């Protein structure tokens, strides 16, 4: 191991004792420097952005944002070691995508193993974290809330508030409660994550919430539009109309 | 669906019984000298086959008078009246088949009965329909016994599910593994605290297992259990978590189902204290007023935290459990303001006999 290459680590866990244990386990490793600690997900998003650490010890069940949501918001896809006490879904996903994780309580030996693996991955020739990418993109459960990062702020929009989602170039415009939020994501990607019983892609660039749908209008022959409860109108394509007719 | 028509095997036996009845009628007509043997058979068998499908209607007559709400004069009147009507139809069918069918197939009536012959035939129709009613009545009673057995089995499965659910919530894996992780951390710098936490954890599980076997425990016992629980959680969350328990002596002696207060505290931490920067205090207040036991739990919540679904599920479980045990005598109300969550349980006062 090249001793000149120091690893800068961030510890994220809402329990003080859990952070303390990671700190203790890191004491014997002179090549790792702890650059910060966070006790909630929002803070973690900020610190990862500000410090860009090489390695993040990331708890999954945290207040405000879960560990997976922190990754989604920061776009971080490598140098993460998850720590969790118990989370069946997450663990299945980790196994599936070969992402490293520590089950609390973990031994020093197991911790050292994970750290050694992280070091080799941090080497310049290491491949990018394809596993994490897939993990964040393909979540098993349907989306319950949409997270939007706006400079230093994070907006959390509960999914029932979302009335429609519109593709605008590389961004999504998410309309909720009279406001419009922009998020860099593809419409096909979010379509996959949404509950198909509650949301429907009615047009190449529009997804609507069925709960917010008020009426289907016919502005012209062979043309349809959805009127939402807020009064907003959304165009419906021919195939979108077919899908809508089978549902409604 | 009709229990005979829906089951091919039952239908086969049913039709065989009617054919036997047809043979019986033909024999009767032959023996009394009303008709010759082959004509009597050709007359009676088709009628019985057709009539068997009319007689299945007796199932619905029986169903209209369930055993539990049956008054015998009404039942007898109805059965007699219906059988009389049916016998009239049976007579009409017989006469029509005898003249028309006979004319078409033989060129003359099958039997050409005399008036006493038709009287006898009519009486047979009455008796057969009445018999069909009685047979269906037995069938309906049999079905309802089976349905009751099925319902009882279902409710036993539900009860066992509820029990399993309860055990699972008591041994919350998050709580267990995180506590062990905290102990692992403490051993490094505060072995005495690690030992204390181990003892609290053991006491909590030991008491949980002991109490869960009993139907009712005193609030005092539940509060002791919650004391161990809170001691563990305070180690985990440090200064973030404070608790203020006020339980009057009278309230502590009251009986209630085990694990009534503990899940409320667990919820208060999971959905309240943990989500609030800087934490806060869980206030528990239990007392007896106006002949009822009141238990109130108040905790701070994060203002921007959307009311989580999980919270609702936990509360719904407690609500259902109390509803099953106490019915309308138990009340549970909760209220959420932007910064606070408050829940209050009202139970009828129930004390150990002799106390």
pLDDT in tens, B236-268: 999 999 999 999 999 999 999 888 899 899 989
User: Of B180, B184, B306, which is closest to A158 when you measure between CB atoms?
Assistant: B306
pTM here is 0.65
pLDDT below 70 — which residues of chain B? 160-170, 304-313, 353-355
Q: What does the pLDDT read at residue B288?
A: 95
- Spans of all domains in chain A: 7-137, 145-247
User: Of A14, A17, A20, which is closest to B274 when you measure between CB atoms?
Assistant: A14
CATH annotation of A145-247: 2.40.50.1020
pLDDT at A4 over 70: no
Check if CATH label 3.40.50.2300 holds for domain A7-137: yes
pLDDT at A155 over 90: no
Which chain A residue has its CA at the smallest distance from B235's CA? A17
Alpha helix positions (H), A98-179: 108-122, 130-137
**Which of residues B26 and A93 earns the better pLDDT score?**
B26
Q: What does the pLDDT read at residue B249?
A: 94
pLDDT at A139 over 70: no
CA angle B292, B298, B301 (to 5 degrees): 155
Asked if the C-beta of B313 comes within 8 angstroms of chain A's C-beta atoms, the answer is no
User: Of A14, A15, A145, which is closest to B182 when you measure between CB atoms?
Assistant: A15
- Are B174 and A86 a contacting pair, CB within 8 Å? yes
Residues A190-212 as b/e (b if ≥16 CB within 10 A, e otherwise) read beeebeeeebbbbbebbbbbeeb
Question: Number of Cβ pairs closer than 8 Å across A and B?
Answer: 63
- Are B51 and B90 a contacting pair, CB within 8 Å? yes
How far apart (Å, rounded) are the C-alpha atoms in residues A165 and B204?
49
Q: Which domains does chain B have, with CATH numbers?
A: 8-165 (no CATH), 171-348 (3.30.565.10)
How do strand A153-158 and strand A145-150 relate by DSSP bridges?
antiparallel
Asked if the C-beta of A18 comes within 8 angstroms of chain B's C-beta atoms, the answer is yes
Sheet of A55-59: strand order equals A32-38, A7-12, A55-59, A80-84, A101-103
How far apart (Å, rounded) are the C-alpha atoms in residues A15 and A9?
17
Question: Dihedral through CA B295, CA B300, CA B301, CA B304, nearest 10?
Answer: 140
- Are A154 and A45 a contacting pair, CB within 8 Å? yes
| Structure ipTM | 0.77
pLDDT at A210 over 80: yes
Asked if the C-beta of A64 comes within 8 angstroms of chain B's C-beta atoms, the answer is yes
Q: Do A18 and B178 touch (CB under 8 A)?
A: yes
């Amino acid at each position: 191991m090249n001793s000149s290459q120091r690893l800068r680590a961030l510890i994220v866990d809402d329990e003080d004792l859990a952070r303390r244990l990671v700190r203790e386990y890191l004491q014997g490793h002179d090549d790792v420097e702890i650059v910060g600690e966070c006790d909630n997900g929002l803070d973690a998003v900020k610190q990862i952005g500000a410090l860009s650490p090489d390695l993040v010890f990331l708890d999954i069940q945290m207040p405000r944002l879960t560990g997976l949501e922190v990754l989604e918001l920061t776009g971080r896809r490598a140098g993460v070691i998850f720590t969790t006490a118990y989370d069946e879904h997450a663990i299945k996903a980790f196994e599936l995508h070969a992402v490293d994780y520590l089950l609390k309580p973990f031994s020093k030996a197991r911790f050292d193993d994970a750290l050694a693996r992280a070091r080799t991955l941090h080497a310049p020739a290491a491949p990018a974290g394809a596993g994490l990418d897939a993990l964040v993109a393909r979540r098993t459960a349907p989306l319950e809330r949409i997270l939007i990062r706006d400079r230093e702020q994070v907006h959390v929009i509960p999914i029932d508030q979302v009335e429609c989602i519109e593709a605008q170039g590389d961004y999504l415009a998410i309309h909720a409660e009279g406001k419009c939020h922009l998020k860099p994501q593809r419409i096909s990607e979010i379509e996959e994550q949404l509950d198909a019983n509650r949301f429907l892609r009615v047009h190449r660039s529009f997804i609507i919430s069925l709960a917010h749908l008020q009426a289907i209008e016919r502005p012209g022959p062979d043309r349809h539009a959805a009127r939402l409860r807020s009064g907003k109108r959304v165009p419906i394509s021919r195939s979108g109309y077919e899908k809508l007719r089978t549902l409604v | 669906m009709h229990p005979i028509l829906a089951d091919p095997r039952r239908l086969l036996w049913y039709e065989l019984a009617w054919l036997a009845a047809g043979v019986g009628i033909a024999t009767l007509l032959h023996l009394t000298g009303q008709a010759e043997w082959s004509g009597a058979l050709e007359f009676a068998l088709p009628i019985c086959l057709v009539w068997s499908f009319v007689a299945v209607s007796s199932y619905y007559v029986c169903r209209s008078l369930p055993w539990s709400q049956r008054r015998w004069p009404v039942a007898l009147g109805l059965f007699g009246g219906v059988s009389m009507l049916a016998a009239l139809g049976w007579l009409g069918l017989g006469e029509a088949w005898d003249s028309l069918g006979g004319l078409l197939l033989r060129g003359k009536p099958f039997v050409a009965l005399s008036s006493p012959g038709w009287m006898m035939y009519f009486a047979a129709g009455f008796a057969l329909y009445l018999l069909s009613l009685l047979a269906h009545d037995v069938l309906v009673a049999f079905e309802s016994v089976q349905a009751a057995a099925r319902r009882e089995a279902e409710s036993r499965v539900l009860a066992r599910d509820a029990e399993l659910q309860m055990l699972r919530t008591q041994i919350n894996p998050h709580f267990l593994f995180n506590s062990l992780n905290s102990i692992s951390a403490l051993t490094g710098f505060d072995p005495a605290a690690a030992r204390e936490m181990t003892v609290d954890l053991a006491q909590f599980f030991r008491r949980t297992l002991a109490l869960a076997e009993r139907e009712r425990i005193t609030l005092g016992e539940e509060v002791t259990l919650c004391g161990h629980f809170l001691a563990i959680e305070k180690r985990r969350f440090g200064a973030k978590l404070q608790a203020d328990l006020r339980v009057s002596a009278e309230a502590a002696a009251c009986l209630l189902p085990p694990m009534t207060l503990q899940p409320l505290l667990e919820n208060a931490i999971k959905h309240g204290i943990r989500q609030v920067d800087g934490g806060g205090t869980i206030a528990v207040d239990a007392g007896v007023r106006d002949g009822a036991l009141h238990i109130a739990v108040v905790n701070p919540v994060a203002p921007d935290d959307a009311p989580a679904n999980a919270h609702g599920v936990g509360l719904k479980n407690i609500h259902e459990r109390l509803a099953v045990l106490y019915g309308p005598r138990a009340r549970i109300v909760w209220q959420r303001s932007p910064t606070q969550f408050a829940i209050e349980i009202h139970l009828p006062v129930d004390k150990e006999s002799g106390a």
